[in-house]
Structure 1
Amino acid sequence: MFLMGKLKRDPNSVELANKIIEQYQPKSVEDMQEALKDIFGPMFESMLKGEMNHHLGYESNDKGEKESSNRRNGYGKKSVRTTAGEVEIAVPRDRDGSFEPQLIPKRKRDVSAIEDKVISMYARGMSQRDISSTIEEIYGFSVSHEMVSEITDSVLPDLAEWQSRPLNNCYPFVFVDCLYTTIRNDYEVKKYAVYTILGYTMEGKKEILGLWLNETESKHKWMQIFDELKLRGVEDIFFVSMDGVSGLEEGARAIFPDVTVQRCIVHLIRNSIKYVPSKDYKPFTAALKKVYGAPSLKACHSAFEAFEKQWSTYPGAVDVWKRNFSHVEQLFDYGSNIRKIMYTTNAVESIHSSFRKVTKKGAFPHENALLKILFLRIKELEKKWEGGHIQHWAMVMNQMLVHAHLKKRVKKYLE
């Protein structure tokens, strides 16, 4: 067992702590906080007096005061928020009003760094009411809903900058999906589509390229989005993985003609089991896995023939795969590591799963309210992704170099 020695403390700090305990006789953490509040006031006032001395060029009662045109002019009362609660302080004033305190600037009443705490709670999906209650419970002062909104609005300039930032010239893999949420618009609650695009960089890093809102999904909206990506610097995309969104494939190819569009296999499975009784889910999906998970295209065709015969009693389910079989076949044009990435939109769906944790509280009052909470969530996700990269990325890059239509493009953007 490892025994840690006694921590070494600054003797001056120990002496100060003993004096505080001796004077206040605290019996609880709350008593200690009250003692700190009493100490904060004189500390603030002493430092503000020092700032005033520096501003005027002489100390209080110094002979320089009589010779100066600007003098002290009493004190003004001010209540400031600290991490220990509200503290009343006396702020020195000068006659000509030129004193600008740096410690607690004019009109500033919060020195608790509460803004960061509010933004952090908002990013985790807490409502304005819950944030206000939590702040009051922990710090002893109330924060209005309006103040919470003002604090969180401070991220809007960062959001605007992020939305229009330049992007990389190439993303080998891009995943697109839509999340639906509700916004109150002119007293009417409407469903809105949140368009999210996730890209994998040439270095194998994840990057959310942007967020877009629209009342519906449409071909024209997707074209606008891909056109915006191009204007922000994206020259090439090798693969786009998507669900069956109307107009997405045409919209992507209209802007990036050489892109390979892949239907998400997981979405096809979900679409097909709608026609299958629950008792047959397990054997049905097991038979499907032999199709899209086959070791070769020949084995895939054999497995699909067997699948059609075995499940012919559910023609609706089989027809989903017949109509989209070209998307299964094209998987086998590439190596297993590429297939493992492109066959599903799970990467972007996991982002939407994270979004749902902060959007489930109900309808948002306006678009900015929704966008800022999603932007803060993205910042949280980016912290988790720092330093990481896509699994087996080196093998993915090697497999892309095997294909003539990819080799030149890969080398172009690696140089």
Structure 2
Amino acid sequence: MTTLRPELLDELLSGYEQPEDLLGEAGLFRQLKKALLERALGAELSAHLGYEKGDPAGRGTGNSRDGTSAKTVLTEEGELELAVPRDRNGTFEPLIVPKGARRLDGFDERIVSLYARGMTVREIQGHLQEMYGVEVSPDLISRVTDAVLEEVRTWQTRPLDPVYPVVFFDALRVKIRDEGLVRNKAVYVALAITAEGDKEVLGLWIEQTEGAKFWLKVMNELKARGVGDILIAVVDGLTGFPDAIGAVFPQTTVQTPDRVGGRLCIVHLIRNSLAFVSWKDRRTVLPDIKAIYRAETIEAAAARLDEFETEWGARYPAIAPMWRRSWEHVVPMFAFPPAIRKMIYTTNAVESLHRSLRKIIKTRGSFPSDEAATKLLFLAIRNAGLRWKRPVEWTAAMGQFAILFADRFAASAR
């Protein structure tokens, strides 16, 4: 990279008195960008013709410079007028500002980034006008974001790993226009934990109703994309799911977290328990509740529950019966070692993803189509993925998976 000489910088800044001299409409930054782009375009034309401007070597070559044409491009600082050089034969194809391009690299990405953060087309239009003084039509913004659809299709059909240790399946409700009516559709998400402990969204599926037939289609799609085995599937009360996954992945263990008040998972059971506990007792009661589901065996867990009832039953009589009513949903969890159990006793992993998606869609009354909803959710997932971290318990769980599932887990490393 070339370093600008201090003398040159001093010369450029010789007339600098206020910020507008640098950043204003006629400021130095815009002048420099214009001059550099036009100089680069001239250099490209020289390379295309094979000789520099004014060089006698160009005589008789059959092609020559033919003046310039005006072109307006959108940049991060607003519109910029450029003089683009031409050749007489019309064969010059600029690279830095391609023919037909109306925006410099980075502008489309800025629009997509705003869209991915939940801004509507009109909001993006206003933002660009306010920040950069650029009047961008809603149609242009829609075309830019629609270009993402090809990326969505590629992502939705990409090859997947042969084995996934854990996959969480859950649904998110989204309002979408369908045949002139706004319908409350379900967007189904499959969030996997890979053999390396990384999180990966396998796909998105939009459907008005759920059932075995729908889930069979999803399972067959995953199989066609390369998935040969899912060790544990954690589902949040999805109708027809166990039968469908059993038909395609017969060895998969389906874990349905306990149901409490219409919501699932041990975490919710704990929260419902603590709702009965006064604030001054919570620090004392919580360790006794945790001792139940952290027990090494189901027998030990039952003993901890008895001890809890002996200790706290008189003061908080509703808690122990609530656990006993949900016991059939707690029991299957103890088939797994503690390290694996910690990963599957809660659907918080997928709920965390849903929270980030809901923040994006909450500003929209409804989506005009399934494609529009898929496009935005895909962009939101892509952004969320940048912030995901490997579960801290994965190192311990990996060893447990290797023992418990033996050859099936080993296949994930091949």
TM-score, length-normalised on structure 1? 0.83
SS in 1 for 2:13: helix
Select 2:18's aligned residue among 10, 27, 38. 27
Residue number in structure 2 paired with 1:369: 372
SS in 2 for 1:177: strand
Could you tell me the percent identity over the aligned residues? 35
SS in 2 for 1:165: coil
Select 1:381's aligned residue among 384, 393, 406. 384
Query: Aligned pair 1:358/2:363, yes or no?
Result: no
Query: Aligned pair 1:267/2:260, yes or no?
Result: no
* CA drift at 1:27: 0.6
Select 2:90's aligned residue among 97, 106, 112. 97
* CA drift at 1:195: 0.7
Distance in 2, Cα, partners of 1:274 & 1:188: 38
Check whether the contact 1:201–1:207 (CA below 8 A) recurs between aligned residues.
yes
SS in 1 for 2:387: helix
Cα distance change of structure 1 residues 394 and 78 upon mapping to structure 2, 3 Å threshold = closer
Distance in 1, Cα, partners of 2:8 & 2:93: 31
Give the unaligned 5+ runs of structure 2.
Answer: none
Moved more, 36-45 or 343-352: 36-45
For residues 233-264 of structure 1, give each alpha carbon's deviation from its aligned partner in whole angstroms, at most 9, with x where no partner exists: 11111211112222122222222222221122
* CA drift at 1:206: 1.6
Residue number in structure 1 paired with 2:406: 407
Distance in 1, Cα, partners of 2:136 & 2:160: 38
Cα distance change of structure 1 residues 411 and 74 upon mapping to structure 2, 3 Å threshold = closer
For residues 128-182 of structure 1, give each alpha carbon's deviation from its aligned partner in whole angstroms, at most 9, with x where no partner exists: 2222222233333222222222222222222211111111111111111101111
Distance in 1, Cα, partners of 2:43 & 2:407: 67
Distance in 1, Cα, partners of 2:5 & 2:184: 58
For residues 76-101 of structure 1, give each alpha carbon's deviation from its aligned partner in whole angstroms, at most 9, with x where no partner exists: 11112233332222222233322212
Distance in 2, Cα, partners of 1:296 & 1:277: 24
For residues 53-91 of structure 1, give each alpha carbon's deviation from its aligned partner in whole angstroms, at most 9, with x where no partner exists: 333334445545653443333321111223333222222
Check whether the contact 2:236–2:256 (CA below 8 A) recurs between aligned residues.
yes
Check whether the contact 2:185–2:206 (CA below 8 A) recurs between aligned residues.
yes
Give the unaligned 5+ runs of structure 1.
Answer: 1-8
What amino acid is the match of 2:169? V
Moved more, 253-262 or 65-74: 65-74
Residue number in structure 2 paired with 1:79: 72
Distance in 2, Cα, partners of 1:414 & 1:281: 49
Matches within 5 A, 1:121-132: 121-132=114-125
Distance in 1, Cα, partners of 2:131 & 2:143: 21
SS in 1 for 2:79: strand
Root mean square deviation, CA, Å: 3.4
Moved more, 49-58 or 149-158: 49-58
Select 1:47's aligned residue among 40, 54, 59. 40
Cα distance change of structure 1 residues 320 and 271 upon mapping to structure 2, 3 Å threshold = farther
What amino acid is the match of 2:352? S
Check whether the contact 1:262–1:342 (CA below 8 A) recurs between aligned residues.
yes
* CA drift at 1:303: 5.3
Equivalent residue pairs, number: 399
SS in 1 for 2:190: strand
Residue number in structure 2 paired with 1:395: 396
Moved more, 173-182 or 31-40: 31-40
TM-score, length-normalised on structure 2? 0.83
Cα distance change of structure 1 residues 221 and 271 upon mapping to structure 2, 3 Å threshold = farther
Residue number in structure 2 paired with 1:18: 10
Cα distance change of structure 1 residues 72 and 274 upon mapping to structure 2, 3 Å threshold = closer
Residue number in structure 2 paired with 1:162: 155
Distance in 2, Cα, partners of 1:201 & 1:16: 54
For residues 327-373 of structure 1, give each alpha carbon's deviation from its aligned partner in whole angstroms, at most 9, with x where no partner exists: 31122222211111121111111111111111111112222222122
For residues 296-321 of structure 1, give each alpha carbon's deviation from its aligned partner in whole angstroms, at most 9, with x where no partner exists: 31233345678899699979x96896
